[in-house]
Amino acid sequence: MSISYSHLSVLSEEVIKYLKPRNDQNYVDCTLGGGGHASKILESTKPNGKLLGFDLDPHACQAAKQNLGKYKDRVIILCQSYVHLKKEVEKNNFKNISGILLDLGLSSDHIDKADRGFSFKDHGSLDMRFNPEKQTLTASDIVLSWPEDKITNILREYGEIKQAKSLAKGLVTWRKEFVKQKQKKALLTSVFNSAILRILGIKESSLKKYRIHPATRIFQSLRIAVNSELDNIKKVLPQAIDILEPGGRLAVISFHSLEDRIVKHYFKQAIKACTCPPSAPVCSCQIKVKIKIKTKKAIKPSQAEVARNPRSRSAILRVVEKL
């Protein structure tokens, strides 16, 4: 049976241009999704280049396995988090890595499948786990059981919501009634969305005047908390630089400012040189320049790409090269 996967790869041409895959080179794709970027890399690394691919989501792994079938002798698919990058590269004896791709966040497939619980436009259970087999905490658990101050924190930090405190207070008041009435029935995304609008005092009929739906940032903050997304990015970046061959490149596609800030900050640290005074006989700070930045200005999708795939509109690509 064929596995459907709705995601369209973002900034594909630009990723290939900057990663420069050539015959027989080895690459790592930390976020395979349906294997869109990976297939382009594998096409360019014929006949012997290998690709090690990660995805946390079992459905994405199946889709990638299917879509990369014709390259199967050159691909290793690991259905687990990229935070284990270095360990897995060593375990699989994967060497001479010329490039690494991180295409962050979620895929269209997550948004389009109601039962994954990522979309406020649907009626699935408010779940949001990238890997429901390995992760236990759901977005619904957070909304229905976390203390008000912890909910305030994630709304503020992961959603950058100014009225986080009053929103969390409203949610805690609303959930008391919900739990009483529903007696442990699943919290649906649509029900949660309506509750948010009620707490914010927004009528469905007035939604058109908002540039982004008022629930967007709240859903984003829950998703980031459920999947520890920002911590994972902080963990993987130094590992990626560490395992690259000198001259190898790391390309990162972010989709919002929280992700991009972490990437930018890490790259800024990694281009710092020794800070010891010139008079010091030996370096005591141990700071070494690790990378050079290949994208002085972040790369964004062309108008044509955004017209073709509106979900690409917030993508930001940054690329560095290991020294």
Selected binder of ligand SAM within 18, 27, 45, 54 (CB under 6 A): 54
Sort residue 175 into left (φ over 0), alpha (ψ -120 to 50) or beta: alpha
Near ligand SAM in 105-124, by CB under 6 A: 105-107
Selected binder of ligand SAM within 25, 51, 57, 97 (CB under 6 A): 57
Stated as kind and residue range, the H or E segment containing 253 is strand 244-254
User: Using CB atoms, what's the residue nearest to ligand SAM?
Assistant: 33
Selected binder of ligand SAM within 11, 27, 41, 55 (CB under 6 A): 55
- Write out the two tokens for 13: 């041409």
- Write out the two tokens for 212: 């982004």
Selected binder of ligand SAM within 18, 82, 146, 219 (CB under 6 A): 82
> Contact 133/105 with Cβ under 8 angstroms?
no
Selected binder of ligand SAM within 232, 239, 254, 312 (CB under 6 A): 232
For tokens 């911590």, name the residue: 231
Q: How far is the CB of 313 from ligand SAM (least distance, A)?
A: 14
Selected binder of ligand SAM within 11, 42, 52, 60 (CB under 6 A): 60
Q: Which stretch binds ligand SAM (CB under 6 A): 49-57, 114-122, 237-245, 294-302?
A: 49-57
Selected binder of ligand SAM within 27, 28, 33, 259 (CB under 6 A): 33
Cα torsion 255, 234, 86, 220: sign: negative
Collect all residues with Cβ–Cβ distance below 8 Å to 281 and sequence separation of at least 6.
none
Q: Is 220 in the site for ligand SAM (CB under 6 A)?
A: no
Q: How far is the CB of 286 from ligand SAM (least distance, A)?
A: 29
Instruction: Break the chain down into helix, strand, coil percent, rounded to 5.
Output: 50, 15, 40
Give the angle 130-298-238 at the CA atoms, nearest 5°: 55
Q: How far is the CB of 196 from ligand SAM (least distance, A)?
A: 24
In angstroms and rounded to an integer, the radius of gyration of the C-alpha atoms of the chain is 21
Q: Is 14 in the site for ligand SAM (CB under 6 A)?
A: no
Q: Is 130 in the site for ligand SAM (CB under 6 A)?
A: yes
Selected binder of ligand SAM within 14, 88, 103, 259 (CB under 6 A): 103
| Distance (Å, whole) CA 49 – CA 39 | 12
| Distance (Å, whole) CA 150 – CA 148 | 6
Selected binder of ligand SAM within 11, 37, 144, 305 (CB under 6 A): 37
Q: How far is the CB of 15 from ligand SAM (least distance, A)?
A: 9
| Distance (Å, whole) CA 20 – CA 98 | 9
| Distance (Å, whole) CA 313 – CA 10 | 9
Q: Is 239 in the site for ligand SAM (CB under 6 A)?
A: no
Residue numbers at the binding site for ligand SAM (CB under 6 A): 7, 9, 31, 33-37, 54-57, 60, 81-83, 103, 105-107, 130, 232
